[in-house]
Amino acid sequence: MNRHILVMGAGAWGSALALHMHRTGARVQVWARNPATRLPTGAMPRLPDWPLPSDITVSDAIPAKPDLVLVVVPVQHLASVLPLLPAGVPAILCCKGVERASQTFPLDVLVRVRPECPGAVLSGPNFAHEIAAGLPAAAVVAAPHMDQALTLAAAVSSPSFRLYASDDCTGVQLGGAAKNVIAIAAGTAMGAGLGENARAALITRGLAETGRLAAALGGQPATLAGLAGMGDLVLTCTGAASRNYQMGLALGHGAVAEDAAAALPGVAEGVTTASALLGMARAHGVNVPIIETVSDFLAKTLTLEEARSRLLDRPLKAE
Ligand SMILES: NC(=O)c1ccc[n+]([C@@H]2O[C@H](COP(=O)([O-])OP(=O)(O)OC[C@H]3O[C@@H](n4cnc5c(N)ncnc54)[C@H](O)[C@@H]3O)[C@@H](O)[C@H]2O)c1
Ligand SMILES: O=P(O)(O)OC[C@H](O)CO
């Protein structure tokens, strides 16, 4: 069947997902707020030259009844884009983070802005340029009910991009949000020359605090051992292409946060998510020392040396 897919957002991830869906044989239409100035993907330094085929239309038009919508704008802009969603069409939110103003996940934003639209999320270890190149990858589609998640995972899967289904929307969204914050910590440690041992400790203890938070928020800690948790955490904390990791590297080298963010080839969601996740954790009485340290470091209430000391000088405890 020639399914009609609308991709909202024409950045790196929206473009990669448009190419992926086009390869499955779908008819793909991309919505961009300003199609004339859509960045050709080849203009991004870390991306190979992968212009969209001419039969993927890029415009500011929203079709009335596509079969599926993929929403791929940064989390802080989600609420301004969702009112454009065609009514009654399933939407998969493909962004990773926490809305700062409301301290809520993307699916909560959808329920607030468009409660009548059925929603799901897609998250996992996926660099856009690798998906665009058709390299093998896997991710998770989570929806409130497993049958919805299975249907949507099947709608997006291909022989090179394997989608697993989950009904743990909280765990999947938390994994995608937290890994960006931990990756800033990992990059900072590497940039400051603290070494591979320090990075491995940050990844492991970052996963531990994310698991605690998942349990408190009503998610399943086991989800954090999967693709949307450990899988994405490892990729983002070790893959040089990660913008969150690059942000950390620059901070570790001594850059000012605003300059480091401006030099990135796209959005680093961890920058805005750090304080929002910390707010969520505090509201639920959960101790998240790495997320707290990244948030305070980004807010410039801690120096790098103070951040290092704060993490290492805490009382010893059982693992
Ligand atoms: N790039 C990746 O490898 C990757 C992979 C998985 C998930 N993600 C997630 O996908 C989301 C988008 O990331 P990206 O890599 O595409 O970012 P990007 O910086 O490459 O592009 C963001 C796009 O959003 C558009 N945008 C910004 N504000 C908007 C608004 N108010 N209305 C409409 N469009 C707006 C920008 O014009 C741009 O085209 C993020 O949450 C990111 O964490 C990215
Ligand atoms: O470049 P980043 O840090 O936004 O990471 C991209 C993807 O989320 C990796 O899964």
Q: Is 50 annotated as a binding residue?
A: no
- Of all ligands present, the nearest one to the C-alpha of 121 is 1
- Of all ligands present, the nearest one to the C-alpha of 247 is 2
Domain layout of the chain by residue ranges? 4-167, 178-312
pLDDT in tens, 302-319: 999 999 999 999 999 999
Task: Show the ligand 1 pocket: residues with CB < 6 angstroms.
Answer: 9-14, 33, 72-75, 77, 80-81, 94-97, 126-128, 266-267, 269
* Per-residue pLDDT, 34: 77
Select from 127, 134, 139, 98 the least CA-distant residue to 243: 127
Q: Indicate the residue type of 212.
A: R
4-167 CATH fold: Rossmann fold (3.40.50)
- Of all ligands present, the nearest one to the C-alpha of 128 is 1
ipTM of the complex model: 0.99
Q: CATH assignment of 178-312?
A: 1.10.1040.10
Q: Is 13 helix (H, G, I), strand (E, B) or coil?
A: helix
Which ligand 1 atom sits closest to the C-alpha of 14?
Answer: 16
pLDDT in tens, 167-201: 999 999 999 999 999 999 999 999 999 999 999 99
- Measured in Å, residue 110 CA sits from the centre of ligand 1 at 17
- Measured in Å, residue 312 CA sits from the centre of ligand 1 at 35
pLDDT of 161 strictly over 90: yes
Decide if 300 is catalytic.
no
pLDDT in tens, 27-46: 999 999 877 665 544 444 33
Q: Is 267 annotated as a binding residue?
A: yes
pLDDT in tens, 224-277: 999 999 999 999 999 999 999 999 999 999 999 999 999 998 899 999 999 999
pLDDT in tens, 52-90: 888 998 899 999 999 999 999 999 999 999 999 999 999
Nearest CA to ligand 2 atom 5: 242
pLDDT in tens, 120-145: 999 999 999 999 999 999 999 999 99
- Measured in Å, residue 286 CA sits from the centre of ligand 1 at 29
Q: Is 179 annotated as a binding residue?
A: yes
Q: Is 12 annotated as a binding residue?
A: yes
Q: Is 64 helix (H, G, I), strand (E, B) or coil?
A: coil
- CB burial string 34-57: b at 16+ within 10 A, e below: eeeebeebeebebbeebebeeebe
Residue of 65, 179, 300, 317 marked catalytic: 179
**Phi and psi angles of residue 29, each rounded to the nearest 5 degrees, phi first:** -125, 130
